[in-house]
Structure 1
Amino acid sequence: MAEQTATAVSRRVLADSVRRATKAPSLHNSQPWLFRIGDRTVDVHADRRRQLDVLDPASRELLISVGAAVFTLRLALRAAGWRPVALLFPEPSEPDLVARVTVPGRLAPTPVVEALSSAVEHRHTNRWPFARSVVPADDLAHLAEAARREGATLTVASAVSRNAILGLAGAADRRLRAQGGYRAELAHWTVPARHRHDGIPPAAIGPWDALETMPIRDFGLLQPQQDRAAVPFEPHPTITVLSTGGDHREQWVAAGQALQRVLLTATWLNLATTPISQPVEIPGLRVLLTDTATDRWAQMVLRLGYGRPAAATPRRPLSEVLLS
């Protein structure tokens, strides 16, 4: 579709697009991003104050989260009829300036853009059991194509690989629970507070797996089996691994953009999703999911299926995420 010459994009459109970008997923809904609106530009910064030091000391997941916000910003601008161009790490002297999104002209949205944009408000992490239904191969192909369009690979685990991955996730979860500061960090992001605009509210935590095969985080609860209902989860979940060629900050941001495109595509297909990040949070286990021979690094594990509607998590208002 041909691009049109256009007047400058208004600040209102840019601000509305930033507001949509804040709907992106992030580790424990930490929302580690800040934005600066300029003339035809939006700069996207990493908010280091929101980094999870115990879970994410290298800031890999922080940059994945910021990458998801960058994709959502691009999508919002496209849905509004503009052509965004994102440049990663545009200023070497400012490492926390992750992306500069410019808007050189107008471009009418495509049906795919409109579909993904309509999914933004409905995408929520679902920590509940899924139906014992097979995800169609055509839907999995759509998800793989979504990842490919953002420079990543989404691989569906075979039955043997799925069981191995869930075993790794369980082992990772146990190691993390034994790690100093882990429970306190989880509790920080789940303690209910009046007017809180981040973190995981109780309604979004979900039940405990009665068979303890699905690695659902305990979110710092001292007695999770007693404080949360225990129900059986699906015995044969659909598990996928999102990977990138290389494992540096640019690839982490790319992984975040691909992750959000996959999640929104899944939402559009009426699929529920659960990121399973424990096995990629421990380097010694993450390497087992990585093909080092081809330099394909596992960045995220996703569970897919059909589930009950999930609760939304709060978002910070523009006043908290906009830099002057």
Structure 2
Amino acid sequence: MQPCRIRWLSAYLGGMDARVLVRCVAAATLAPSLHNSQPWHFRIEGDAVEVYADSLRRLEVLDPTGRELMISVGAAVFTLRAALRGEGYLPGVETFPDAGTPDLVARVFPRDSAKPGAAARELAAAIPRRHTNRRPFSAAVVPAAALDRLREAAAHEGATLTVAGPASRTVIVSLGRTAAERLRRRGGYYAELNRWTRAVPGRRDGIPAAAIGPWDSLERIPMRDFGVIDAQPSRRGERFEAYPTIAVLSTEGDGPPEWLRAGQAMQRVLLVATGLHLATTPVSQPVEIASIREVLSDPRAGRWAQMLIRLGYGAPAPATPRRPLSEVLADG
């Protein structure tokens, strides 16, 4: 954003430095998204940041309904909220504020200035340190107190995080393998995967080779194998944790408002986990097959699985690239 535009915005905001909002938008772009597709763009209007879903970045094969796109945008909305709180403002949010503009997902704005507490500072500090980790985790057990913190984080955003016990974990791992097999048979799957993993000089989205990680030699972890397109002779198989900690994030209801809520809950969980020095992997393929997603849900109670999250301790994962603000932030 041009300096003259920032000065004009600062005056328009009644003394609030527009660079605060720009920094918050930059933080929001660090949110996770399906295949690092980054399906969002932003606009600063008045004292608010408008968050839009970019439907052109929806993955048509994996996400025909746009559910995962909305979860990704929800993660960006929460990151924007957390960044604004870290800057010393209580964030307000209006979701789907204009029925005539369906791509306008949320409007986030500073309500009042207030010094952030320790928890808010911890969330904001975790934003640049959170990275999806597709590497093996150690055998160390995630403490019950940490899992309680993560459940509370999901509940704070109106979602439920259920940590799988030994029996349900075995079922989830089996369902994950089944989902992966079915997705590979889906028309266009490999072409779409190739689109988001293909190495292109200067590319600022997608999954780079450094973030793919090794393949699970024992197929214990229900994660997507981004190496199926290219055999990658240098890519080795490794033993992943024998007893992974896997949690299911679910919501009551299953429409765009719930998907947006799920994305905000997911990101709060991921940031709290990062603050607890936990490694995290959002796992989506079991909920990309309708029949398998239904097994993980409770349709009669109106509760739907939205995402799986793998948790544990592991070596730091590399960051994935992000598009520059010049591509995602409109001047107004």
Q: Report the TM-score when normalising by structure 1.
A: 0.96
| Alignment-mate amino acid for residue 188 of structure 1 | R
Aligned to 2:156: 149
Aligned to 1:185: 192
Aligned to 1:3: none
CA distance in 2, matches of 1:34, 1:141: 34
**Could you report, residue by residue, the CA deviation over 1:7-56 in whole angstroms, capped at 9, with x for unpaired residues?**
55322111110000000000010000000001111100001111000000
- Any conservation in 1 of the 2:176–2:223 contact (CA below 8 Å)? no
How far the C-alpha of 1:275 sits from its partner, in A, is 1.1
Pairing 1:205-244 to 2, within 5 Å after superposition: 205-219=212-226, 221-222=228-229, 224=231, 228-244=235-251
3-state DSSP of counterpart to 1:57:
coil
- Any conservation in 2 of the 1:208–1:216 contact (CA below 8 Å)? no
Q: Does 1:93 align with 2:100?
A: yes
**Could you report, residue by residue, the CA deviation over 1:218-258 in whole angstroms, capped at 9, with x for unpaired residues?**
22634548562111111100010000011010000000000
Q: CA RMSD in A?
A: 1.4
**Could you report, residue by residue, the CA deviation over 1:132-190 in whole angstroms, capped at 9, with x for unpaired residues?**
11100000000000000011000010100001011111100010011111011011111
CA distance in 2, matches of 1:57, 1:189: 16
How far the C-alpha of 1:276 sits from its partner, in A, is 1.2
Indicate which of 137, 151, 161 corresponds to 2:144: 137
3-state DSSP of counterpart to 1:99:
strand
CA distance in 2, matches of 1:124, 1:255: 18
User: Alignment identity in percent?
Assistant: 57
Q: Does 1:278 align with 2:306?
A: no
Aligned to 1:79: 86
Aligned to 2:307: 300
CA distance in 2, matches of 1:179, 1:190: 18
- Any conservation in 1 of the 2:212–2:227 contact (CA below 8 Å)? no
CA distance in 1, matches of 2:108, 2:232: 45
Pairing 1:155-174 to 2, within 5 Å after superposition: 155-174=162-181
CA distance in 2, matches of 1:32, 1:156: 29
CA distance in 1, matches of 2:109, 2:123: 21
- Any conservation in 2 of the 1:169–1:276 contact (CA below 8 Å)? no
Indicate which of 253, 256, 260 corresponds to 2:263: 256
Q: Where in structure 2 are there 5+ consecutive unaligned residues?
A: 1-12
**Could you report, residue by residue, the CA deviation over 1:252-296 in whole angstroms, capped at 9, with x for unpaired residues?**
000000000000000000100111101101111100000122211
- Any conservation in 1 of the 2:29–2:322 contact (CA below 8 Å)? yes
- Any conservation in 2 of the 1:156–1:241 contact (CA below 8 Å)? yes
| Alignment-mate amino acid for residue 310 of structure 1 | A
| Alignment-mate amino acid for residue 205 of structure 2 | D
Indicate which of 66, 91, 94 corresponds to 2:73: 66
CA distance in 1, matches of 2:96, 2:105: 5
| Alignment-mate amino acid for residue 182 of structure 1 | Y
3-state DSSP of counterpart to 1:198:
coil
CA distance in 2, matches of 1:225, 1:31: 26
CA distance in 2, matches of 1:189, 1:164: 29
CA distance in 1, matches of 2:111, 2:278: 35
- Any conservation in 2 of the 1:186–1:220 contact (CA below 8 Å)? no
Aligned to 1:195: 202
- Any conservation in 1 of the 2:29–2:76 contact (CA below 8 Å)? yes
Q: Report the TM-score when normalising by structure 2.
A: 0.93
3-state DSSP of counterpart to 2:105:
strand
- Going from structure 1 to structure 2, the CA distance change for 1:37 and 1:223 (only over 3 Å counts) comes to closer
Indicate which of 38, 52, 62 corresponds to 1:55: 62
3-state DSSP of counterpart to 1:189:
helix
- Any conservation in 1 of the 2:61–2:189 contact (CA below 8 Å)? yes
Answer with 226-235 or 300-309: which moved more: 226-235
CA distance in 2, matches of 1:225, 1:301: 27
CA distance in 2, matches of 1:219, 1:137: 32
CA distance in 2, matches of 1:211, 1:311: 24
3-state DSSP of counterpart to 1:293:
helix
Answer with 26-35 or 210-219: which moved more: 210-219
Equivalenced residues, count:
319
Answer with 219-228 or 308-317: which moved more: 219-228
How far the C-alpha of 1:206 sits from its partner, in A, is 0.4
| Alignment-mate amino acid for residue 213 of structure 2 | G
Aligned to 1:114: 121
